[in-house]
A and B are shown apart, each in its own frame.
Chain A
Amino acid sequence: MLKGSQISTISYLIKQLPKATVFVNMRSEIVYVSDKWLEEFNFSDQILSGKKIFTLLSRTSKEGRQALKACLQGEKQKSIIERSLFLASEKQYEWTYSTWYDDDENIIGAIIQSEDITHLKQTELQLEKRELLLDEISENGNIGCWEYDAVQDKINWCERTRAIHEAAPDFEPNIENGINFYKIGYSRNTISMAVDRAMRDGTPWKEKLQITTAKGNDKWVIAAGRPLFNNNKFIGLIGTFQNINEHVVSEIKTKESQQLLRTLIDNLPLNVFMKDIQSRKVLVNKHELKFCGVEHEKDIIGKDDFDFMDENSALRSQEEDRYVMTTLKPILDQEKVVTRKDGKSITFLTSKIPLMNDVDEVIGIIGFSLDISNIKQKEEELKNLINVTSLQNKKLINFAHIVSHNLRSHTANFSMLLDFLVEENDESEKETIIGMLTHASDNLLETLENLNEVVAISSNVNLEKEPVNINNKLTAIEQNLSVFLKNYDAKIINSISDDVSIQAIPAYIESIFMNFITNAVKYSSPERKPIIKLSSTSKNGYTIVSIEDNGLGIDLKKYGSKLFGMYKTFHTNKDAKGMGLYIAKNQIEAMGGKVMVCSEVGKGTIFNIYFNEKN
């Protein structure tokens, strides 16, 4: 047992221990306690001697109580971490139980020391967290690390760095074979220089480079490193190694497909455009730029059709855009004529398709327009050509029928008359028949002459047109017809200016005017003296000569379609043969012109002859 003074000395000593310490006897009753302990567990200024320790700290864990028990039986020192000795405190303590012996090595109790390890624990936790985080980053970012020990000239790779290199587990990396992983050329040169510079002047590096792995695969990596110095002495390098291959490859692929798309769009023989929901252009290709008369895409982005088309075209185009965006139905291959701001019209075959985003909302349209102006023009020309050809064909067939009809009717007469002649006995009747045969023969000759005349006009398509002064020709015709005009007491009033000339074939002009003027006189009204008025105007590339008479007039409703037909006559006039107008019309058309007529029965007729001013 300890003596009284001894006890107080011991007690005083223990009281001052810097560590929270408590001495308990075999019954777990407090014998000595340090001030630090009292302070730590909030018992300052209390007398705790004789009180049971676990009564004071009732939340002591089961392990703690057992540790004390074991300790009092002489077992080895044991440390227990107590997490929740107090309510509402997160403090953690490490309790160390040691056996308390007297001078004679008898167990007289236990020495319990408590240390606040809250801070320690937290640091530990943080470290653990950081390590986890690092692992996570390394895992997800595909980042490894490495370290070079200059003293031992050895490189240490972490697992990931090794994995990125696809190196065997027993591969021992060093500076030389490390650098040799980099691709010959840019990558290897860059890394060599970076390492060299880092060793010499301490510059860190971070480069995007390519390596070839141990298995022969090419990979993109970001290699970073910095030198380590100890007392200004270079002792090694440390760095990271990130596999960015997937990223780079997909970036390259994206760039490639972007370029492919752009090249494709630009070189399509189409106008391609993308518009936003307000019909403003957001993407155009080269053809569309050209159509808009703009050199750079930036000058077109954000503008709409009103900036490049006339109002009507732009309105119609925006109408289509709205239709596509509201109904989500595409417009496909629609033919339309678009007029640009400068007035030029282009025929397009246009398609417009709604453009959706990834949640299926409409965000604009994509459009394609094919310029078919040339095709349209060709089509138009072809149509005209077909029209002309079919007209010519019709004329030809008509002419063939006329020829056939005329020749057949004469030969029919011949054969009939000859039959009669053979069977006829009466001499006087024979005379009559022979007279008729002669007449028929004359008719046939005349018919052939007429046909020749027509054929001549149709086959002389190569006759050159030349400038012909109209009044010069008219004066000559008037002189030729002077007797004829006098007989009918006809008067010609000519208001055509002396300087009017037309492009024409001179021989045709004579024939044409002769025909119309003699017709006008021949079919004059018996009730009045014939007056023929001549005048001219110019319109749409034609010089129009009008020949107006005050004659019988003609019922165009009845005869209009036959007026210019061959062998068509409409008056009981003996001279009428139905050739004049037919030939005149053929001559006018052979010179690229046309003839129009208006007439009123009993009042007169106006023929308007259109002479084409072009060759």
Chain B
Amino acid sequence: MKKINLICIIDDDPITVFGIKKMLKSVSDCDSIDTYSNGKLALDGIKNKLETTQQVPEVIFLDINMPIIDGWQFLDEFITLPASNRARINIITSSIDPADRAKWEYYKLKTTHNITFNYKPLQKQDLFEITKIA
């Protein structure tokens, strides 16, 4: 398995963040995991790193319902970033609103980044499948 340099978790629920982090430890060999509690903080952090490395995180776990800037608003801006690499963005949600799935289809077509749609709770096996370089 190829080594992943940077994983990013964006979720306002500390329990989910804790869970993903804990599972990642056993399925992935990754040096650094950044966590952000909303879309705005995530964009700030990612943009900051992009300036020095010209890279965006290789794998992103993204929640949709978050304060200030939600998952979709985060995507709006993220896909415009001048990244040199392709990211794998895993949307993790407990929403069963079909509108959210439709939005995912929309963003999937709009960008070259790989976007997946996943329901909570995540199993270890699921996480293993989606924690790969795009």
Q: Is A86 an interface residue (CB 8 A)?
A: no
Q: Is A134 an interface residue (CB 8 A)?
A: no
* B13 / chain A contacts, CB cutoff of 8 Å: 409, 413
Interface of chain B residues 87 through 107 with chain A (CB within 8 A): 93-97
Bound together, the chains give a CA A415 to CA B120 distance in angstroms of 10
Do A436 and B18 touch (CB < 8 A)?
Answer: yes
Q: Is B45 an interface residue (CB 8 A)?
A: no
Q: Is B116 an interface residue (CB 8 A)?
A: no
Do A412 and B96 touch (CB < 8 A)?
Answer: no
Interface of chain A residues 388 through 410 with chain B (CB within 8 A): 401, 404-406, 408-409
Do A405 and B94 touch (CB < 8 A)?
Answer: yes
Do A578 and B121 touch (CB < 8 A)?
Answer: no
Q: Is A416 an interface residue (CB 8 A)?
A: yes
* B16 / chain A contacts, CB cutoff of 8 Å: 409, 412-413, 416
The closest CB in chain B to the CB of A409 belongs to B94
Known contacts: A409-B120, A571-B68. The answer to whether A420 contacts B95 by CB under 8 A is no
Would you give the shortest CB distance from A87 to chain B, in whole angstroms? 120
Do B97 and A420 touch (CB < 8 A)?
Answer: no
Do B121 and A412 touch (CB < 8 A)?
Answer: yes
Q: Is B82 an interface residue (CB 8 A)?
A: no
Chain A 571-598 per-residue mask, 1 if CB under 8 angstroms from chain B, else 0? 1100010100000000000000000000
Chain B 40-66 per-residue mask, 1 if CB under 8 angstroms from chain A, else 0? 000000000000000000000000010
Q: Is B122 an interface residue (CB 8 A)?
A: yes
* B19 / chain A contacts, CB cutoff of 8 Å: 413, 416-417, 420
* A404 / chain B contacts, CB cutoff of 8 Å: 94-96
Known contacts: A570-B68, A578-B67. The answer to whether A417 contacts B15 by CB under 8 A is yes
Do A440 and B97 touch (CB < 8 A)?
Answer: no
Do B96 and A408 touch (CB < 8 A)?
Answer: yes
Would you give the shortest CB distance from A426 to chain B, in whole angstroms? 11
Do A568 and B97 touch (CB < 8 A)?
Answer: no
Q: Is A376 an interface residue (CB 8 A)?
A: no
User: Which of A412, A440, A558, A569 contacts B67 (CB under 8 A)?
Assistant: A569
Bound together, the chains give a CA A361 to CA B95 distance in angstroms of 74
How many CB-defined contacts (below 8 Å) exist between A and B?
62
Bound together, the chains give a CA A161 to CA B93 distance in angstroms of 110
Known contacts: A413-B121, A417-B15. The answer to whether A568 contacts B94 by CB under 8 A is no
Do B15 and A436 touch (CB < 8 A)?
Answer: yes
Would you give the shortest CB distance from B72 to chain A, in whole angstroms? 11
Bound together, the chains give a CA A411 to CA B121 distance in angstroms of 8
Would you give the shortest CB distance from B35 to chain A, in whole angstroms? 15
Bound together, the chains give a CA A406 to CA B67 distance in angstroms of 15
Bound together, the chains give a CA A85 to CA B68 distance in angstroms of 138
Q: Is A181 an interface residue (CB 8 A)?
A: no
Chain A 411-445 per-residue mask, 1 if CB under 8 angstroms from chain B, else 0? 11101110010000000000000001001100000
Known contacts: A436-B18, A439-B15, A568-B67. The answer to whether A412 contacts B97 by CB under 8 A is no
Q: Is A607 an interface residue (CB 8 A)?
A: no
* B96 / chain A contacts, CB cutoff of 8 Å: 401, 404-405, 408
Known contacts: A401-B95, A405-B97, A408-B94. The answer to whether A415 contacts B121 by CB under 8 A is yes
Q: Is A323 an interface residue (CB 8 A)?
A: no
* B65 / chain A contacts, CB cutoff of 8 Å: 405, 567
Would you give the shortest CB distance from A316 to chain B, in whole angstroms? 46
Name which of B15, B22, B65, B122 has the most chain A CB atoms within 10 A of its CB: B15
* B14 / chain A contacts, CB cutoff of 8 Å: 436
Chain B 108-134 per-residue mask, 1 if CB under 8 angstroms from chain A, else 0? 000000000000111000000000000
Name which of B14, B16, B18, B67 has the most chain A CB atoms within 10 A of its CB: B67
Interface of chain A residues 530 through 568 with chain B (CB within 8 A): 558, 567-568
* B95 / chain A contacts, CB cutoff of 8 Å: 401, 404-405, 408
* B94 / chain A contacts, CB cutoff of 8 Å: 404-406, 408-409, 412
Bound together, the chains give a CA A245 to CA B120 distance in angstroms of 99
Sample 13 A-B pairs with CB under 8 A, ordered by A number. Answer: A401-B96, A408-B95, A412-B16, A412-B120, A413-B15, A413-B16, A413-B19, A416-B16, A416-B19, A436-B15, A439-B15, A571-B68, A578-B67
Beyond A405-B93, A413-B16, A416-B120: 6 further Cβ-contacts under 8 Å? Answer: A405-B94, A405-B96, A411-B121, A412-B121, A558-B73, A576-B67
What are the 9 A-B residue pairs with the smallest beta carbon separation, nearest first?
Answer: A412-B120, A412-B121, A569-B67, A408-B94, A409-B94, A401-B97, A413-B15, A416-B19, A416-B121
